[in-house]
Amino acid sequence: MTKSDEPVTIKKYANRRLYNTGTSTYVTLEDLASMVKGGENFVVYDAKSGDDITRSVLAQIIFEQENKEGQNLLPVNFLRQLISFYGDQMQMLVPRYLEVSMDSLSKEQEKFRGQMTQAFGISPFGGMEEQVRRNMEMFQRAMTMFSPFNAAGRAAGAALAAKDDKAAKTEKESSPDDIDGLKRELQEMQRKLERLTADKQ
């Protein structure tokens, strides 16, 4: 399929069939998954109502992929935490945080792929796990500090910040130069989160 700047329009009919108006063919969720992996953008509309149902169709694709043997990407704890945010006052921050985190992961994926081929005995995901841990701590700090009237929240955020500073000092003393690059990226992400938090207040 030819890529274009305009997203391909997919129509979903009452019989659950999906129609690609760009190729004039019926497609499956698996076909749409391949389009996503190939970088091809599309939007899905309900053929009867005209409503944009892209989000629900993408969620269906994830559900199908998660049900395939050996294809699981979403840890159970992550799903539980994600569910707990629905209806929470911090719900508005979660989508942007996940976007920033996934964007950072996408940009660094080649570095992580390279780490997978490194010497034996060293976990290739050690750096990534540490980055995810630090990201979650920054996010938790942003949430606890969200309310300007929440003194306990500010204190908890300050405690987490001190913990991050101590961890950063330890890393600087014992880690190679590539950790400095990760730290810079995390600092940039923290600045983005702080800006988001300020915008919502």
pLDDT of 40 > 90? The answer is yes
The model's pTM: 0.54
Residue at 153 is within a domain: yes
pLDDT of 188 > 60? The answer is yes
Does residue 134 share a domain with residue 58? no
Does residue 171 share a domain with residue 107? yes
- More confident position, 196 or 32: 32
Beta-carbon count within 10 A of 108 CB: 17
pLDDT in tens, 41-77: 999 999 999 999 999 999 999 999 898 877 788 888 9
Name the least confident of 33-37, 87-91, 109-113, 150-154.
150-154
How many structural domains is the chain composed of? 2
pLDDT bracket for residue 121 (50, 70, 90): very low
Percent of the chain predicted with pLDDT > 90? 27
Does residue 138 share a domain with residue 52? no
* Contact of 18 with 12, CB cutoff 8 Å: yes
Does residue 185 share a domain with residue 115? yes
Report how far residue 103's alpha carbon sits from residue 15's, in angstroms, rounded to the nearest whole number: 35
Burial of 176 (0-12, 13-18, 19+ CB in 10 A): exposed
pLDDT bracket for residue 26 (50, 70, 90): very high
Mean pLDDT for all residues in the chain: 75
Does residue 126 share a domain with residue 172? yes
Q: Which domain holds residue 54?
A: 8-66
Report how far residue 53's alpha carbon sits from residue 47's, in angstroms, rounded to the nearest whole number: 10
Report how far residue 79's alpha carbon sits from residue 56's, in angstroms, rounded to the nearest whole number: 17
**pLDDT for res 149:** 44
Residue at 51 is within a domain: yes
Report how far residue 32's alpha carbon sits from residue 37's, in angstroms, rounded to the nearest whole number: 9
Does residue 159 share a domain with residue 109? yes
**pLDDT for res 148:** 45
Does residue 114 share a domain with residue 27? no
Does residue 83 share a domain with residue 51? no
pLDDT in tens, 132-179: 666 666 666 655 555 444 445 455 555 655 655 665 555 455 445 566
Report how far residue 111's alpha carbon sits from residue 150's, in angstroms, rounded to the nearest whole number: 40
Does residue 133 share a domain with residue 174? yes
Does residue 92 share a domain with residue 50? no
